[in-house]
Each structure stands twice: as C-alpha cells, then as structure tokens.
Chains A and B, each alone.
Chain A
Amino acid sequence: MRYAMAVDTKKCVGCGDCVVACQTENNVPHGYCRDWIVENVAGTYPKLEIELRSERCNHCENAPCVRCCPTGASHIVDGGIVLVTHDECIGCGACIESCPYDARYPHPEGYVDKCTFCVHRVTDGENPACVDVCPTHCLHFGDLDDPNSDVSKILKNRKWKVLAPEAGTKPQLYFLT
C-alpha cells in the first residue's frame, strides 16, 4: 500500500478551504497550518498564467526528516504515511531544517507537527479532510498500489509533476498540470 495525493492545478482556485478544514479537523492551533496555498503568476499583462497549488507534507518515500530525527519520533507507518509521535518528539527541530518543502512547524505545545494525511480518517476508509472539503474537487487521494483508486486513475490520465525532484526525497504529492 502506498498512499499518495494528486492536486489538480488546473482547477484549484486557491480558496484555502483545504487549510481551514485541516485546522478544524486536526485542531491545528490558530496561526499555524499543515497545508497552504501557493500562487505563481507568470508573464506580463495581458499574456499571463497562474498556477495555484495546495501544498502539504509530501510523505516522501525517502524522507530526510525521518532519517535525521534523533529520537525516532518521526517515523513511517503503513501506506507510507510519515508521522510524528508527539510524546517522543523533543522539539529539536532537526526535521524542520531537513525538509526541502517546509512542511513542518513547531507546535506551541513543544513538539513538531505536520500533515498526517488525516491518518485517523484514512485508516477508517475515509479521505483526508482537505480532499473531502475541496469545492472544486481538485484533490485526489488513494493507494497507488490499487490501479482503481482515484489517485492512480487520475495520474494515469493526466500530466503531472512533483516538487523539488532533485532533492531525491521521492515525494508522494503530485501536481496535475
């Protein structure tokens, strides 16, 4: 099993609903977020293009954050989800430094936090909160080992890219272009 997410940049409108839904689902404290929006504008008036991306932890297959964690709090579970065990995390921040995507933040309670792919929902067979709330249906989630999953199907039919492939982290967040 290999969980992954695809973000359709052709449909995302950058509304931030995925961010708010994550906040309320995961009790993310105000002022912090586990997912965020990037808007890239290219060109000059009136020849313009915008790419909108909803970003979060890439649940990298080759995760530097896990490798560098001195306590083992950062670890990988079934389906490739990268998690942080709050009780074991000493808040040293090494993982924050090592992540090429700036996906982690120091939680005010003293540990490091980030996107969990809503593991508590996913293990119940549900989608992550951001996926289920997105009004443009531009987030796709599922198991890459299952050719019939939403994410497998859309990656087969569409062009996509990943961010910072040169970092060699094997990210599992795909951007449909």
Chain B
Amino acid sequence: MKTRRDFIKISAAGVGAAAIGLHALSWDSVTAQFVADGDTSPVSDEELTNYPTFCEVCFWKCAGFTYVDKKGNIRKIIGNKDDPHSNGRFCPRGTGGVGMYWDEDRLQTPLIRETKADGTQYFRKASWDEALNLVAEKMNKLRLEHGPECLALFSHGTGGKHFSHLVKAYGSPNITAPSFAQCRGPREVAFTATYGEDVMSPERTDIRDTKCLVLIGSHIGENMHNGQIQEMSEAIDQGATIITVDPRFSTAASKSKYWLPIKPATDIALLLAWMHVIIYEDLYDKAYVEKYTFGFKELKEHVKNMTPEWAYGITTIDPNVIRKTAREMAAASPAVLVHPGRHVTWYGDDTQRSRAIAIVNALLGSWGRRGGFYNPEKVHLPKYPAPPYPKPKRSWRDAYPPGKYKLVTEVLSTGICDASIPNADLDCHLRGWIVYGTNLMASLPDQKKTLEAISHLDFLVVIDTMPMDIVQLADVVLPECTYLERYDPIRTSPHREPYIALRMPAAEPKHETKPGWWIAKELAKRLGLGDYFNYENYEDVLDWQLKKVGSSLEEMKRIGVKKFNREFDDLYFLQNLEDFEFNTNTGKIELYSTELEMEGYDPMPKYTHHEEPADGYYRLNYGRAPMHTFSRTSNNHNLWDLMKENSVWINPKVAKLWDIENGQYIWLKNQDGIVTDFPVKARVTERIRWDSVYLVHGFGHTDKKLTRAYGHGASDSKLVSKIHMDPIMGGTGMRGNFVTFLKEKPGKEVNA
C-alpha cells in the first residue's frame, strides 16, 4: 500500500543511520567497555548505593531497588521484600531491566522527519527546543483549525499519565491504551455485567489460597506476571489441583494434574458442559447461588442439553474428563478459581466466553471468597491542584453509528484508527496522534488499517526510549529516558493490602533523553497550558501528594514501598454469606444478564462455531515467553541473550507431511497472502496440536536500528490481518487467522 511515508527502512533512504546518529557499537565492543572499566568481579552490596524504583517492563510494576556502583553505573535491580507485587523477587525481564538502560540502540536525541529534494525521507537530529516548538506549533494549529478533539493519545505504562493529563488539558477525550480492545477488555465487560465489578490489574485472583486453579488458555509461567507465578508456585506446594485447558502443552499444563488439549476456538462449549455437570450433578454452592444470583432457573434450562457428550463432539475432550474436572472444582469450592485470563481477545465472542468463566465461578461460589476472588484495596492519592479540564465537544465514537459496541467502557484503540480515516459521515477525522510507550505496529492488529490511518494524519509524535517500529513512522520523535532514570507517578495499584511504591532515578538520563513529566510540562508551557503543570520538578508533586497521606518523598526514598491499613475488613466479603448488593441491575450476580439482554445481546453465553483452517493451513496461536514483554524487550541485551528469536511450533506429524525439519528456517503466509518479513525457525514439537501453530509474540522487527532484534523471527502481528470484532465491546479477536508454510524464500510479488 502507498502511504505518505516510507515505512522508513532507514537504510533504504541511504542517509538514515548517519543522520540519526545512532551509531550502534557492536556488542563485542560494548561488552569489552563494560568489563574493562568495571572490574570483572562482583561487587558486594555494601559498595553499591540503591534507589527505590518500580519496574516498567510489564504492567505488574514490581517494586525494588536499583543498585549503582561508585562510578555511577547501574549494576543490578533487586526486588523489595516489602512489596506484595514482587516479594523481593523480580521476574527475568525485571531483573534484566538494566539492559534497557545500557542498550546502545536507545533513542538519544529528538528527531525530526525531513524530506530531501529527491523525495527520500530521513530523520534529522534536533534540539529539544526545536522539537518541542514544532510539536506545539502543530498542536496549536490543529486546535485552531479543527478543534482539540482531533488529537488522540495512545499510551501504555506509568509515564502515560503525564501525557493523558496534557491531552485532557488540551481538550481531547481520545485517550486510549491497546490494553483494552486488544487485551483484557472482554473480561472487564463480562465480569462487570455479572458481578458489577471488574477483575482489575493486578488481578484480584487469590491463587495463593486456592485449592483448585483452572487456566483456560492462560499460560502463567510463560507469561511472567510475577505475583501470579509466585502464588501458583505456592499453591503447588500447598497441594492445589491445577487444571489447564490449552491446545498447546504449555509450561502450566506440564505442572497440572489435568491437561485438557482442547480443539482451538471451542472453549465456550467446555464451559457450558462444566455448568451442566455442576448444576445437574448438584455440585453448585446452593446457599451462595440462592442468596446472591439472578437467573439460575434460566441458566439451568439453558445448559440442559449441553452435556459432556455434546461438548466432546465440539472440543474433542473426553466426557469423563469433563465430568472429573467439574467434580474436582466443586470439591475445592469455594476455594476454586477459574482464572479469567488477561489477553482474552481471541475469536470475537470473547465477552461471552468471559461471561461463561464468570458464571462457572459464581456457581462454585468463588467470588468474594478465600481461594477465589478477593476484594482489593488501594490508596487514593489526592490529585495535584490543576484547573478543571475543558469539556470536549466530540469524541472518537462519532465515527460509529449509534448502537455499536454499546458496552465499551474504555476508548478503543482500533476505534481511534477508524476515526482517523476520513469518511463522509465524519465532520472531522482525527488528525494528530501522540504515541507514548507503545509500539503500535506490534500492539494493534491489522497493520494495514493502522498504516492507512497514519497516512491520513497531519502529524504523528512518538515518545519512546527505543527506536521501535512505530518510531519509523513519526514526524517528530521525543526520546524519553528509561524508568531507571526518572521520577514517575506513585504506584497505587490495588492489592490485598493497600500499598504505595516510589520510582526515583538511579542515574542521570543518558544522552539527551528526558523524563516524560518534563516533556509533557514543556509542551504544556508552549501550548499555553502551563497552569496544569504548576510545579518546577516532579518531586514537588510527589512530596505534596505523599504528605497528604501521611508519608513524604524523603520517607519513600528510604523505604520504597509503604503499606497502609485496609479501610474495610472485607477482603473475603462473601465468605460467610454476608449481605451484599451487587452493582448490577438486579443487585445480584447475574447468571442471566439483564444488561446484555437490554442491549440486544445474548443474556447467557452460547457456543458458536468458528471458522476452521482450510486444507494446508493451521490456526495461528501466539503467546508469550517468560523472558520478553512483547516487542519492548526484544533488543534488551540481557534478555536477548536468553531468547534471540521466536520459532514457529509445529506438530511432528504436520512437519513430516511438509517435510520440514526441526531448526529449518521457513516463511509463513496467512489466509490473506501476507508473508512474514523474515524466515522463522521451525520448532518441531509434540507440545502443539496438529491443527495449529504457535509463535511467541513480539519478534520480527523491521527497524534496523534495533541492531540485535532486527530481522530475527516472525511477527505474529503482521499475520493477524483478519479481526473478529466483539460486537459487545469492540474487542479485536485475533485468533481467527490461519497460516501455511513456504519453504523457499518468497519472491517479491508474493509480498506485495
């Protein structure tokens, strides 16, 4: 497709690398440098100074300390024992966070896109003043000519708060994170429809105390959500039963008493059959169901014919196993946890599948009970004084006919894309994007649509620490320093007990990078919004906020993490059948959803058949590896050492059919003819079903400036060109894509 921009393969423009000033040292020389001026032996902790931080490598935000040696070099990051997110133990990505600081491919200076006389484009190094002035000028122009609502912000991570504050002050409501429509949105909508509350982040799952943990496609252990993996390990010690439902023999499956190797895209049938067994064998928690739920009679009728034998024909799971596992769950009730998962945008009926999970939990009485779902609490920090935000006149939703995605509770990032593409019904499409800390080329499905949206923009500003693929498309690049070099808002995430955690810099920002708060404040100044950032340093804000809750910046710099008392003594608020009114239409747990019914959706989940791969094609499944967080960490030297590329998992029977050997490099082509940019190694393994293949997400980078990650492995995002939209909340189901194998390097015409 033609876009206004070259998808800058900087090398193709010829001037790129030099103009950008990213002279990557080869890693050998970096190693030598690091080793030669440090000494090669370990340094005892007494010789190191430590500074509190919390990790930004994933959303779990573990708190710990950054250790710095006498020369000011960051040496290691170790968890804070007082922190319930990490319990003093970071995961490999957090431990390897030092690699983000040391990465020689980091963005170093602001960059501005320029076009040469012959039309080729390149990035020019710019001063902060010049870059910020340019962004402010574009934002001012947009505000004057089209209104502030034509600006959108994509953000991910803690630092995003500075920019959402800026964008709200500017007057736009279009603030989005891929974590809703591309990840956990269906779960939140489904649980809210059922319980009147969502699952939250970190999840309120009481894995530690559960007697039976059920994982449906969730691969804890490969996704390293630290608290969950630690608690799962504790549960194993306590003798908990683990039941894993996954077409792939995941690490979690290998730790499970029962592994149900389900046929992909049939989970709802299994869940309905479990409901059938639990209800018709009288295994449900009667007192709980009677007191708290609405619609049991209807549900009982609904699942009447959905027997394990019925489900067998759909899921390929042995009916006896369906019965046995249902009984195991019931035996553990209420200390049983059918985990809601996190990345749940699979097939387009994901809200309904999440509803089914919510319902099974309700039948087993696990919501609000020990070993099920607890009631977390968080500390509420007062907002630093700022004028009220202006009221936006329009929003991204104007791009959709009324009545679409009625239960969406957050801004859809894919909706922002749609609203950026001009169409006759739209009086103003979105014209400017600010992208903070998220590589949209990997985090959004349907790259073609994303590129099209970008091609219509007046400007695209990217704020990041690394030259991610999205950076190649920016008009202005603002390099942020890493989380180890900056202050950020206090972490207040909910937990069993409320805690706060501080992130402070352990070193000066490298190169000419700047902290996010500074960038946002400087832009605000230039936009006449200085009143919204009424402070000199972010420390002023933190100290002001901390003093309001009885701490101080000085105290937090010492301890890093502080525990508060719960306001209410209701961690397991339904343990003894306490009276409770749920925040739903009926005030009950809605097994039968009146809200969904009112909006015209199925009030109880149904199984629908999903498209299956054509002959010679295999369903593309994707997931995580414990040592990487999406594409964000793939260039991190410490983590790259552990995993340099992904491989495509292929069942040996399939491999034999295709005559593909373990370790052979092949290309993947999807149903729309899209081929991977690079060859990917075949991993011939029994761990995968014959009808699907598996890729770890976040590889196949196309930006050469990521000197390590470039060209390694296959991008699953590129192959996800077909989206199955969840009609209820606009989630983008991504597991309905199919691939086939190419053993020869495809010619150009295939790629076009």
Contacts and interface: CB of A to CB of B under 8 A. Distances in A.
Interface of A: 10-11, 13-17, 19-21, 23-27, 29-31, 33, 41, 43-46, 48-50, 52, 86, 107-109, 118, 120-121, 124, 132-138
Contacts of B34: 27, 29-30
Contacts of A19: 92, 641-642
A11 B31 contact: no
Interface string B85-118: 0001111100110100000000000000000000
A29 B27 CA distance: 10
A14 B687 CA distance: 15
B226 interface: yes
Contacts of B641: 19, 23, 30-31, 33
Interface in B51-105: 75-79, 88-92, 95-96, 98
B626 A137 contact: no
A41 B253 CA distance: 12
A48 to B, nearest CB: 5
A12 B29 CA distance: 34
B387 interface: no
Nearest to B708: A30
21 contacts: A11-B233, A11-B236, A13-B251, A14-B221, A15-B221, A17-B90, A20-B96, A20-B627, A21-B76, A23-B641, A24-B96, A27-B75, A29-B35, A30-B30, A30-B31, A31-B27, A44-B686, A50-B687, A135-B224, A135-B233, A136-B229
Given A10-B255, A50-B254, A107-B40, A41 B685 contact: yes
Given A30-B638, A50-B249, A108-B35, 5 more contacts: A13-B221, A15-B91, A15-B221, A19-B92, A121-B44
Interface in B192-251: 221-222, 224, 226, 229-230, 232-234, 236-237, 249, 251
Interface string B35-57: 10011111110000000000000
A14 B685 CA distance: 17
Interface in B248-288: 249, 251, 253-255, 259, 261
Nearest to B92: A17
B651 interface: yes
Contacts of A136: 229-230, 232-233
A10 B256 CA distance: 10
Nearest to A13: B221
A14 B236 contact: no
B230 A135 contact: yes
A65 to B, nearest CB: 20
A30 B27 contact: yes
Contacts of B30: 30
Which of B44, B89, B261 has the most A CB atoms < 10 Å from its CB? B89
Contacts of B31: 29-31, 108
B90 A133 contact: yes
A27 B233 contact: no
A13 B89 CA distance: 15
Contacts of B76: 21, 24-25
B1 interface: no
A16 B627 contact: yes
B99 to A, nearest CB: 8
Contacts of B643: 16
A4 to B, nearest CB: 21
A27 B42 contact: yes
A135 B221 CA distance: 10
A137 B235 CA distance: 12
A10 B226 CA distance: 18
Nearest to A28: B40
A120 to B, nearest CB: 5
A13 B249 contact: no
Nearest to A46: B261
Contacts of A86: 40-41
Interface in B676-692: 685-690
B44 A120 contact: yes
**Most chain B beta carbons < 10 A, residue from A15, A86, A108, A120:** A15
B230 A27 contact: no
Given A30-B637, A33-B641, A49-B254, A20 B41 contact: no
A6 B76 CA distance: 25
Contact of A135 (B42, B43, B89, B642): B89
B233 A15 contact: no
B364 interface: no
Contacts of B255: 10-11, 13
B32 interface: yes
A16 B642 contact: yes
Given A26-B42, A29-B34, A17 B95 contact: yes
A49 to B, nearest CB: 7
A144 B222 CA distance: 33
Contacts of B98: 24
B639 interface: yes
Contact of A46 (B95, B222, B249): B249
Contacts of A107: 40
A100 to B, nearest CB: 24
A24 B233 contact: no
Contacts of B686: 41, 43-45, 48
Contacts of A134: 89
B223 to A, nearest CB: 10
Interface string B630-658: 00000001110111000000011000000
B40 A109 contact: yes
Contacts of A108: 31-32, 35
Contacts of B253: 48
Contact of B35 (A16, A109, A138): A109
Nearest to B96: A20
Contacts of B639: 20
Contacts of A124: 44
B685 A15 contact: no
B249 A45 contact: yes
Contacts of B35: 27, 29, 108-109
| Residue among B32, B226, B686, B689 with most chain A CB within 10 A | B686
Interface string B650-681: 01100000000000000000000000000000
A43 B90 CA distance: 33
A159 to B, nearest CB: 16
B638 A24 contact: yes
Given A15-B91, A41-B685, A27 B27 contact: no
A1 B41 CA distance: 25
Contacts of B237: 11
Nearest to A26: B42
B40 A15 contact: no
A25 B641 CA distance: 16
A137 B96 contact: no
B420 to A, nearest CB: 39
A67 to B, nearest CB: 25
Contacts of B40: 27, 86, 107, 109
A14 to B, nearest CB: 7
A176 to B, nearest CB: 12
B356 to A, nearest CB: 23
Nearest to A37: B642
Contacts of B39: 27
Contacts of B222: 13
